[in-house]
Chains A and B, each alone.
Chain A
Amino acid sequence: MTKIFETPLYPYERTKDQDAAEPVRHPVVVIGAGPIGLAAAIDLARHDVPVVILDENDKVSWGSRAICFAKRPLEILDRLGCGQEMVDMGVQWNLGKVFFGDRKVYDFNLLPEEGHHRPAFINLQQYYFEEYLVNRARVLEAEGKPINLRGGSKVTAVDAKDDGVLMTVETPDGPYRIIADWVIACDGAGSPVRSMMGLDFVGRVFEDNFLIADVVMEAGFPTERWFWFDPPFNKGQSALLHKQPDNVWRIDLQLGWDIDKEKEKKPENVIPRLKAMLGEDAKFELEWVSIYTFQCRRMEKFRHGRVIFAGDAAHQVSPFGARGANSGLQDTDNLIWKLKLVMEGKVPETLLDSYDAERVHAADENILNSSRSTDFITPKSDQSRIFRDAVLDLAEHFEFARPIVNSGRLSVPATYDGSPLNGPDVDEMPRRTRPGAPAVDAPVGNGWLLSRLGDRFQLMTIDAEAPDRIDVSGIEVERLELSAKDDPSGALAERYLGDAQAGIYLMRPDQHVAARWTKFNEAELRSAVNTATGRI
């Protein structure tokens, strides 16, 4: 059977642009059709902003790479119109086990908070994830939305000017040139666009190698996440076993620094390692094997005039904590509404600098978290190993030490504290929904709060009065009228009111909170909308 990642999903086709005498101009060109480029293009097309996506390849991710997708990205995918497919296909799990040497030191249950539409996260192969995004793009195209996915189109030159970006695109029929008003560079960690523009990408390399293998097996292992520190089958190193759909299991084996990567990747060397872990009699088939050295780094600035970087091109993290694709989706979630307002001429171009401020802040948080996980998993000195082992030994006996064990912290969205777009806050309201925070889901009526938010500025009122619609110099703010009574479980009130009796929330198109009050005041609302759109 041909795997989905061996099938060309968007093969090269000749376009009119190639026959034009002068380079054709497009409003937005997205470079790279990985998860982030696809999400960016889908979001633009949904808003009727014409977009061309260029990818040198014509297939989804080779092998699975990312497998854990967290709640917030799933909520973003719901807004984009393809969250359900992912959740239906994905594997959900709550139980985890931690082993140290040959002992199980403890197990944990994630016990996700009640009252959210989406689970804490799902496991799903990156190739399925990308396939569903490609499908979504195709549906939009069929509905007449302006999205044009061009495979076999490699960007080989970028000339960024003040009034547009001229690109050379290499194809099987030879090169052609196009111009874009705006470019979103989603061309991955090795970003050729970044290199062509001579931009930096600094950070830290972890001197270690990991063998990542996806194996297909009918195994008796339960749907749990198993993590080993210093297991007998991989002495002095670590290991991970995690389930994906279709009986595919992800196995990570830490190999250390001084290894011969090419040799270690050969099946005759991989299979004995896996047998030592899974048992001599285990029957499995290798789907994909790769060896990685992990890095944590980011660009100093994500916006360079008319070229805006997103996803791995802008920042790279080690995979512990699953923050790569998860945070990349939050980049485009943050960017697209801003770009659209700028393109419509409704707000100053400087609104785009808030993308930089907010997402650099988020990238730093992700880098910090994944560096710390890496430091725990692969201690860098004798003393850090002594501390690490002490925590694991204590965790076997005492509950207090378990939160210190760090085999990857769950990816959670950043709150944009200190963002220039944030407006007024109210002290007696809950901290988790303060300005800058992503909206927290809650049951309302017979649906979910998040399905009623997004894509436009909204004034969410909870047991408070406000006009149904307010126009703030061309930006329409629409009221979403709610009552604490809409949620008998009390989650809505607990998450949005706290000690307040009533609440008014100004919500951004990316479902983040911009400002909040306890009663409506038109002048304050206008000022908050102007702040949230970079007009002030």
Chain B
Amino acid sequence: MSELTLKANIDRPDDFYADLLAAHEGLSKAESDALNARLIFVLANQIGDREVLRQALAAAKQAMHRDPARS
């Protein structure tokens, strides 16, 4: 079974970050939300492995910052 990698794995991360911002450039909030959602499905399909996807969901949740004033 595969493991989710949580070590740096993206070649030239600044470029990827810039690509991500560029993709959202000029979009409304609703259009950006929709783009993000489509991107999640495209990436998830690439990963395929349900176990890795489960770990990815858990990692994303783990890093959630709870606003102390609201919790």
Contact = CB atoms under 8 A, between A and B. Distances in A.
B17 interface: no
B45 A390 contact: no
A394 B42 CA distance: 9
A401 B38 CA distance: 10
Nearest to A400: B45
A387 B45 contact: no
A357 interface: no
Interface string B30-65: 000110011011100100000000000000000000
A472 interface: no
A425 B31 CA distance: 53
Contacts of A114: none
Interface in A378-405: 386-387, 389-391, 393-394, 398, 400-401, 404
Contacts of B45: 400-401
Contacts of A387: 37, 40-41
A387 B40 CA distance: 9
A401 B41 contact: yes
A404 B34 contact: no
Nearest to B46: A400
A398 B41 CA distance: 11
Contacts of A401: 41, 45
Contact of B33 (A386, A394, A400): A386
Contacts of A393: 34, 38
Nearest to B30: A386
B8 to A, nearest CB: 27
A380 B42 CA distance: 23
A192 to B, nearest CB: 44
Nearest to B42: A394
Interface residues of B, number: 8
A391 B34 contact: no
Nearest to A393: B38
Contacts of A404: 41
Interface string A405-416: 000000000000
A7 B12 CA distance: 76
B67 to A, nearest CB: 18
Nearest to A391: B41
A391 B38 CA distance: 7
Contacts of B34: 386, 389-390, 393
A400 B38 CA distance: 12
A386 to B, nearest CB: 5
Contacts of B42: 394, 398
Nearest to B39: A390
A394 B46 CA distance: 14
A389 B38 CA distance: 9
A44 to B, nearest CB: 44
Nearest to A395: B41
Nearest to A389: B34
Contacts of B37: 386-387, 389-390
A435 B38 CA distance: 41
B19 to A, nearest CB: 19
Interface string A170-200: 0000000000000000000000000000000
A400 B45 CA distance: 7
Nearest to A404: B41
Interface in A346-398: 386-387, 389-391, 393-394, 398
The winner among A386, A390, A393 for most chain B CB atoms within 10 A is A390
A398 B42 CA distance: 10
A151 B40 CA distance: 57
A101 B40 CA distance: 22
A321 to B, nearest CB: 22
A404 B53 CA distance: 15
B17 to A, nearest CB: 22
Nearest to A390: B37
B34 to A, nearest CB: 6
Contacts of A390: 34, 37-38, 40-41
Interface string B20-34: 000000000000011
A401 B34 CA distance: 15
A389 B36 CA distance: 12
A404 B48 CA distance: 13
B42 to A, nearest CB: 7
A401 B33 CA distance: 18
A400 B42 CA distance: 9
A390 B42 CA distance: 10
Nearest to A382: B33
Contacts of B38: 390, 393-394
Interface of B: 33-34, 37-38, 40-42, 45
5 contacts: A386-B34, A393-B34, A394-B42, A398-B42, A401-B45
Given A387-B41, A390-B37, A394-B42, 11 more contacts: A386-B33, A386-B34, A386-B37, A387-B40, A389-B34, A390-B38, A391-B41, A393-B34, A393-B38, A394-B38, A401-B45
Interface of A: 386-387, 389-391, 393-394, 398, 400-401, 404
